[in-house]
Homo-oligomer: A and B are copies of this chain.
Amino acid sequence: MQMGNSSTFLDAARELLGDRGLITDPELVEPWLTDWRGRYHGAALALASPATTDEVAALVRLAREHGVPIVPQGGNSGMCGGATPDPSGEAILLSLRRMDAVRDFDPALRRITCDAGLVLQTLHERVAEEGLRFPLTLGGKGSATVGGLVATNAGGTQVLRHGTMRALVLGLEVVTPLGEVFSDLAPLKKDNRGFDLKQLFIGSEGTLGIVTGATLALVPAVAERVVAWVGLDSLENARALLLTCQGRLRGELEGFEVLPEHCLAAVVDHLPDARRPLGEPQPWNALVELAVEDKDKVADAREALETVLADAFERGLIADAVIAANEGQAEDFWQLRDTIAPAEKALGPAVQHDISVPEAQMPAFLASIAPEIERDYPGTKAVGFGHLGDGNIHFHVLAPPEAAPAWVEEEGKEISAQVYERVTEWGGSISAEHGIGQAKLGELARLADPARLDLLRRIKAALDPDGLLNPGKLVTPTP
């Protein structure tokens, strides 16, 4: 890119977006050039913050005229560097955060249409005012935006009952790489006018289009949740308990998370006031949540869960269990689960893998991979925890105690390659919910089935022929 050229582009962009919409002051741009975990760093010509969909479309057309790549960004809270530009400084960073309006909210139809920049937590609060909820949440809810959640097909701890973002998106508005507005916000329940383009944009990580608005499905607010902490001998038993819960607590079962003793011990050491929910440490723990919408049915739900747990104890499936006596205790249980990441960080470097395998095979997979890694890389500790109900485990490998900081980039990389190879052999996914971004770009190209990769590349080339939209993310052009 010629300097003269980029300055012409920036002048035109300033004219289009105004001073508020085009930020070139390095101090103001800087914070958005690094992902929230500080793993990816980039550079950019400027930070564009359009106020409307039409401004986004006009900016895309302008960037196209000047051959300027565009990196869309929501809350900058992604896990794979998908919203961080490359270091060349040739791209413009396009923030959707200024577009954060609720466009239309219909509580009777349980539907909300909003701009892409609306923050998840704000969305939660807004719909709660009408006795409703948007049933997707995750750690970054204070910064994650609707557009980013759509672009990454985000998951979280409620997928078991409500699905990922894909299941909750009823309509989309997208600016295409050619700068046209594709609007499919009209909430038609049935529409067979050709391929479902909306589905293509969900999870495309800003490489096929820029999400500018979405219509989302809502569900009734929860009157009360019933949360149990369960101790078990093995992950097989946790899975057997899960199947029992799914059979007998159908409809209300919303969460089923597992964590090994290693994770719980780390959390208890790390959190000042944390207490173990059960007296004796158990090899495995399961966190089970029922979310009950109708307050008249809370007692029934609690009783049903008690019966399931009592039966499971009788059958020798579980070693111990406790149901939270109140919301405060339920919150304490969840805090143990949600503190795994910082507790582990305090133990030293680790490489993390967000993987899935067919649900039924998760216990066998973990029993195979963890000892393999610990054997091949002496001193490491391999643990899996997370969303057993979705066949999605966060598989973390902690560095040996004496490891140098460079461990992650050296031995850690080798370990990750091995983990992804095994996952692929088991018919699983190297990215269950975090996406590909720049973090797994090479591994996807290396390990994906050639037919899949060819289709991804053809679609990318067809929709974005000049490769200007979020280049270097998700899929690379055919070599």
- Which residues from chain A sit less than 8 Å from chain B, CB to CB? 108-109, 152-153, 155, 159, 164, 166, 176, 178, 180-184, 186-197, 199-200, 202-204, 208, 243, 251, 356-360, 387, 390-392, 427-436, 444, 448-452, 454-456, 458-459, 461-463, 474-475
Contacts and interface: CB of A to CB of B under 8 A. Distances in A.
B194 A444 contact: yes
Contacts of A449: 182-183
A178 to B, nearest CB: 8
A203 B200 CA distance: 13
A328 B18 CA distance: 70
A348 to B, nearest CB: 28
Contacts of A359: 109, 187, 189
A339 B430 CA distance: 51
B208 A203 contact: no
A176 B455 contact: yes
Given A190-B356, A190-B390, A191-B356, 15 more contacts: A109-B359, A164-B190, A176-B454, A176-B455, A180-B451, A180-B454, A184-B452, A187-B359, A189-B359, A189-B390, A193-B431, A193-B436, A193-B452, A195-B204, A199-B199
A358 B152 contact: no
B358 A432 contact: no
Closest 8 A-B residue pairs measured CB to CB? Answer: A462-B462, A199-B199, A191-B429, A190-B432, A180-B451, A458-B462, A186-B427, A182-B451
A358 B187 contact: yes
Interface SS of chain A: loop
Given A358-B188, A391-B188, A428-B188, A459 B195 contact: yes
Given A190-B429, A195-B204, A432-B190, A458 B448 contact: no
19 contacts: A108-B243, A176-B455, A180-B451, A181-B451, A183-B449, A188-B356, A189-B391, A190-B387, A191-B431, A192-B433, A193-B430, A193-B448, A194-B474, A194-B475, A195-B203, A197-B455, A199-B200, A200-B200, A459-B462
A194 B448 CA distance: 10
Contacts of A186: 358, 427-428
Contacts of A461: 462
A435 B155 CA distance: 31
